[in-house]
A and B are shown apart, each in its own frame.
Chain A
Amino acid sequence: MEMILALAIGVLTGSGVWLLMRPRSFQVIIGLCLLAYGVNLFIFSMGRLYVGAAPIMPKGGFVDPAAYADPLPQALVLTAIVISFATTALFLVVMIASRGTTGTDHVDGKEREQ
Chain B
Amino acid sequence: MTPAAVPEHMIIAPILIPLIAGAIMLFYNDRNRQTKLIMGLVAIGLMFLSSVELMQDAKSLTDQGETAVRMYLLGNWPVPVGIVLVLDRLAAMMVMLTSLLAAPALIYAAAGWHGKGQHFHSMFQFLLAGVNGSFLTGDLFNLFVFFEVMLAASYGLMLHGSGPERIKAGLHYIAVNLAASLFFLIGVALVYGTTGTLNMAHIAAQLAGLDDAQRLLFHAAAAFLGIAFLTKAAIWPLCFWLPPTYASASPPAAAIMAIMTKVGVYVILRLSLLILGPQAGASAGFGAPILMIGGVLTMAFGMIGILGTPDLTRKGGYIAIISSGTVLTAVGFAQAGGGAEVLSGALYYLIGSTAAVSAFFLIAEPVSRDDTGTDDQSQTTEPAGERLAERWEWTPMGLDTVEDTPSPASTRTVSWLTMAICFSLIAAMLAGLPPMPGFIGKFAILRGAVEGNIGLSGQLPVMLWIYAAMLILSGLGALIALLRFGMRRFWAEAVPAPRILALEVVPVLMLLAMILLMTIRADAVLSYTRVTAQTLLNPAIYRETVLEDAKRVDATPPQNHAPYEPPEGQK
Contacts and interface: CB of A to CB of B under 8 A. Distances in A.
Contacts of A84: 178, 181-182
Interface residues of B, number: 37
Contacts of A42: 186, 189
Nearest to A28: B175
Give the dominant DSSP class at A's interface.
Answer: helix
Contacts of A46: 189-190, 192-193
A107 B172 contact: yes
The main secondary structure of chain B at its interface with chain A is helix
Interface residues of A, number: 39
Contacts of B32: none
B15 to A, nearest CB: 17
Given A76-B141, A83-B145, A87-B174, A61 B560 contact: yes
Interface in A3-24: 20
B562 A76 contact: no
B171 interface: yes
B7 interface: no
A59 interface: yes
Contacts, number: 104
A88 B185 contact: no
Given A87-B174, A87-B178, A90-B174, A39 B148 contact: no
A30 interface: no
Interface stretch (B84-92, B162-170, B308-316): B162-170
B122 to A, nearest CB: 15
Given A28-B175, A87-B174, A94-B159, A39 B182 contact: yes
A91 B185 contact: no
Contacts of A97: 162, 167
Interface in A57-111: 58-63, 72-73, 76, 79-80, 83-84, 86-88, 90-91, 94-95, 97-98, 101-102, 107-109
Contacts of A39: 182, 185-186, 189
Nearest to B164: A101
A95 B174 CA distance: 10
Given A76-B188, A87-B152, A88-B178, A60 B167 contact: no
A36 B182 contact: yes
Contacts of B178: 32, 84, 87-88, 91
Contacts of A109: 164, 168
Contact of B145 (A36, A79, A88, A91): A79
A98 B558 CA distance: 57
Nearest to B566: A58
A16 B354 CA distance: 36
Contacts of B167: 94, 97-98, 101-102
A90 B155 contact: yes
Contacts of B163: 101
Contacts of B478: none
Contacts of A62: 558, 560-561
A32 B179 CA distance: 7
A83 B182 CA distance: 11
Given A46-B193, A90-B155, A102-B168, A58 B564 contact: yes
A91 B175 contact: yes
B3 interface: no
Contact of A72 (B151, B170, B185, B192): B192
Q: Which among B164, B189, B564 has the highest number of chain A CB atoms within 10 Å?
A: B189
Interface in B185-214: 185-186, 188-190, 192-193, 198
A75 to B, nearest CB: 9
B75 interface: no
A25 B171 contact: yes
B172 to A, nearest CB: 7
Interface in B320-377: none
Contacts of A36: 182
A100 B492 CA distance: 41
A36 to B, nearest CB: 6
B174 A35 contact: no
B562 A61 contact: yes
A60 B566 CA distance: 10
Nearest to A38: B182
Cβ-closest 10 pairs across A and B: A61-B564, A46-B193, A43-B189, A101-B164, A46-B189, A109-B168, A58-B564, A83-B148, A98-B167, A39-B182
Interface of A: 20, 25, 28, 32, 35-36, 39-40, 42-43, 46-47, 58-63, 72-73, 76, 79-80, 83-84, 86-88, 90-91, 94-95, 97-98, 101-102, 107-109
8 contacts: A43-B185, A43-B188, A47-B192, A58-B566, A76-B188, A79-B145, A83-B148, A102-B164
Given A39-B186, A46-B189, A63-B564, 4 more contacts: A87-B152, A95-B171, A101-B167, A108-B168
